[in-house]
Amino acid sequence: MKRWLWQALLLDGVTGAYAAVLLHRIVWFHMVQGMEPPAISPWELVAYALAGMLVAALGFTVRCTLGAWMVDPHRLRPWQRQCALHIGLGLLVLTVWTGWIVTKVAPLELFSAEGLRSAGRLFGALLTPELSILDRALAAMVQTIYIALMATLVGLPPALVLGFLAARNVMRHHVATFAVYGVLRVIINFARSVEPLIWAVIFSVWVGVGPFAGMLAMTVHTIAALAKLYSEQVESVDPGLLEAVEATGAHPVQVVWFGIVPQVVLPFLAFTIYRWDTNVRMATVIGLVGGGGIGTLLMQYQGLAQWHEVGLIVLLIAAVVWVMDYLSARLREMIA
């Protein structure tokens, strides 16, 4: 009950301060004054905090706020519940309104005559691709597919090892191995949360712009993503078989080999095929920031505003991605 109370006060305080900020800075400055709000002064901070405390106090005494509603929805009177509901609705409207202003949404821009003409020209060019550069585009596409393949193949062995070393049920038996597990988890999650695009930027500084940088970027991401998928699969194996192998007096390595591996071989294969397919798609994007292959070619033509050439490349990418998608789905169906 105590904890609930704190959560309610916190919720009311945060929503109160949030509403005060929006009302003051968006509604007052933008709508009424028609100007960009100035930098926040310390006094304003204090005022926002006070507004939050006011709402929290209101919730605590009159019990007509979101916090009061969260703690005990059934004991509120109808008007109290109504009031809390209106506070929630008001916050939602205010938030969408703020978002509209911050994003500078301007639907009319979509329909300006000049804009429509440019877009029409672009789409027209994309739909009438320039076939004379087909050989160049195909060569770049082949490079992209190989970048993806290399990233998958090079990333596979380390991911396999990490998949077991980052699985709780393999590592929990000993303090030292459990520490390794914890450290690996952190590293893998970090490597995975950094987008491959950012890895590509890092590696293009390291080894120079080109396909190798793109491959390295995707290899890092592949290792992290596959290690995560593999380890989750290892953690979800039936513990019964593990126990049975352990009961024969088998060595821990044998327990993994006979207790876990037979249960994860097919899922691992499916994940790997899926990864290759994802990597081909990703490799086209990586090329946009200098990772080589079809993406780099696309950027070159886009920079020269040669839209017919860009059109051919986009169509080619779409075709290859579709074929890869289909093939990988069929392959995974076959082994399932």
Partner 1 sequence: MALFELREVTKVFPNGVVALERVSLRVERGEFLAVIGLSGSGKSTLLRCLNRLVEPSAGQVLFEGADVTHLRGRALRQYRCGIGMIFQHFNLIERRTVLENVLVGSLGRVAVWRSLLGTFPEELVEEALRNLEVVGLAEKAFDRVRMLSGGQKQRVAIARALMQRPHALLADEPVASLDPATAHSVMRYLEEVNQRFGMTVVCSLHFLSLVRRYARRVVALRAGRVVFEGCPDEITDEWFRHIYGEEAQEVEIR
Instruction: Catalog residues that contact partner 1 under the rule CB under 8 A.
Output: 238, 240-241, 243-251, 253-254, 257-258, 262-263
Least distance (Å) between residue 265 CB and partner 1 = 8
Contact 292, 139 (CB under 8 A): no
Residues 190, 195, 294, CA angle at the centre, nearest 5°? 145
Complex with partner 1: residue 60 or 258, whichever CB lies closer:
258
Say how far apart CA 142 and CA 155 lie, in whole Å.
Answer: 20
Q: How many CB atoms lie within 10 A of CB 293?
A: 27
Complex with partner 1: residue 95 or 263, whichever CB lies closer:
263
Dump the DSSP string for 96-120.
Answer: HHHHHHHTT--GGGGG-HHHHHHHH
Complex with partner 1: residue 39 or 247, whichever CB lies closer:
247
What percent of the residues of the chain are helix, what percent strand, and what percent coil, each to the nearest 5?
85, 0, 15
Least distance (Å) between residue 244 CB and partner 1 = 4
Token code pair at residue 161: 């090892």
Say how far apart CA 89 and CA 76 lie, in whole Å.
Answer: 18
Complex with partner 1: residue 232 or 246, whichever CB lies closer:
246
Least distance (Å) between residue 51 CB and partner 1 = 45
Say how far apart CA 65 and CA 68 lie, in whole Å.
Answer: 5
Least distance (Å) between residue 319 CB and partner 1 = 37
Least distance (Å) between residue 10 CB and partner 1 = 31
Complex with partner 1: residue 257 or 326, whichever CB lies closer:
257
Say how far apart CA 329 and CA 336 lie, in whole Å.
Answer: 10
Contact 203, 286 (CB under 8 A): no
The helix (H) or strand (E) run that includes residue 83 is: helix 78-102
Nearest to 281 by CA among 294, 300, 290: 294
Token code pair at residue 96: 């969408």
Contact 315, 129 (CB under 8 A): yes
What is the DSSP code (8-state) at residue 25?
I
Contact 185, 166 (CB under 8 A): yes
Say how far apart CA 234 and CA 159 lie, in whole Å.
Answer: 13
Complex with partner 1: residue 197 or 256, whichever CB lies closer:
256
Least distance (Å) between residue 212 CB and partner 1 = 35
Complex with partner 1: residue 193 or 248, whichever CB lies closer:
248
Least distance (Å) between residue 181 CB and partner 1 = 17
Complex with partner 1: residue 259 or 311, whichever CB lies closer:
259
Complex with partner 1: residue 108 or 253, whichever CB lies closer:
253
Least distance (Å) between residue 261 CB and partner 1 = 9
Least distance (Å) between residue 248 CB and partner 1 = 5
